[in-house]
Amino acid sequence: MTPRWYALAGPVCLGALLAVDTQVGRGGQYALGAATWLVLLAALRPLVPLARAQALGVVCFATVGEVTGSLVWGVYHYRLHNLPLFIPPAHGLVYLSGLGLARVVPARRLVAAAAAGSVGWGLAGLTVLPRLDVAGAIGVPLLCVFLWRSRARTTYAAVFLVVAALELYGTSIGTWRWARTLPGLGIADGNPPSGVASGYVWFDVMALLVAPLLVSTGVRLRREPARGSLHPARPPLAHRLDA
């Protein structure tokens, strides 16, 4: 499977995953978690090291965000009031879906669609949607700034569109639900809030920042023998064959 196919295969896989989750208990979620990790690892194989590091970085930062937002702060809750084990690797699939979408749709169209979608959603949450969504609207300007100034605007736009679709789908089938107000702040929040897909950009930003460092560190560790090693580095294969 080429990375371009992730634009279709990723959302289909994630949609099926969320649908199955509504029919199982905690034991079933464990199985879904293992299956999702296998799918993610298989999807990472054809990618270059930098893209792999970016996807895994998104998994790490998004998991921190999930624990903070759901389990600690209580801004939203999953169906069983836990953090399903398939959610961390699913974030990696979301990112890969965005990368695939960025390869098949022209950059200007993606950025324009993300900008119009986020602004329109934010305004609707303040005017016509059934639930007032002040908290969501606060996050919209963040995405617009990144879409305007960042060199990775195409990736951010693509991931925004994937996340927005999954948020609307996941909340509609009851996989998770957002609180009516932000706990401790009392700010009205939508279900889903318009700004959640905009806020997701932070996971991508952090992953894009740390990925080059992770790749360079991995390369350096492979090339340099461990300090204090009792055995010298093994000679090249040709030298060993000539010995």
Query: Over 50: is that where the pLDDT of 232 sits?
Result: no
Residue 222 is predicted with a pLDDT of 72
Mean pLDDT value across the chain: 88
Q: Are 41 and 190 in contact (CB under 8 A)?
A: no
Over residues 49-68, the pLDDT tens digits come to 999 999 999 999 999 999 99
Over residues 80-104, the pLDDT tens digits come to 999 999 999 999 999 999 999 999 9
What is the full DSSP assignment across 154-218? Answer: HHHHHHHHHHHHHHHHHHHTTSEEE-SB-TTT--B--SS-TTHHHHTHHHHHHHHHHHHHHHHHH
Q: Are 196 and 118 in contact (CB under 8 A)?
A: no
Please tell me what DSSP assigns to residue 58.
Answer: H
Length of the chain as a residue count: 243
The residue-averaged pLDDT of 180-196 equals 94
Residue 217 is predicted with a pLDDT of 77
Taking the C-alpha atoms of residue 195 and residue 137, their distance in angstroms, rounded to an integer, is 6
Q: Are 136 and 190 in contact (CB under 8 A)?
A: yes
Over residues 146-182, the pLDDT tens digits come to 899 888 999 999 999 999 999 999 999 999 999 999 9
What is the full DSSP assignment across 83-117? Answer: --TTHHHHHHHHHHHHHHHHHHS-HHHHHHHHHHH
Give 242's pLDDT tier (boundaries 50, 70, 90).
Answer: very low
The residue-averaged pLDDT of 172-197 equals 95
Over residues 13-61, the pLDDT tens digits come to 999 999 999 999 999 999 999 999 999 999 999 999 999 999 999 999 9
Per DSSP, what are the bridge partners of residue 178? 76
The residue among 74, 82, 86, 72 whose CA lies nearest residue 31 is 86
Residue 241 is predicted with a pLDDT of 35
Query: Over 80: is that where the pLDDT of 233 sits?
Result: no
Residue 243 is predicted with a pLDDT of 34
Handedness of CA 37, 43, 45, 47 (dihedral sign): negative
Give 223's pLDDT tier (boundaries 50, 70, 90).
Answer: confident
Write down the pTM of the prediction: 0.88
Q: 78 by DSSP, 3-state: which?
A: strand
Question: How large is the C-alpha radius of gyration of the chain?
Answer: 21
Q: Are 203 and 61 in contact (CB under 8 A)?
A: yes
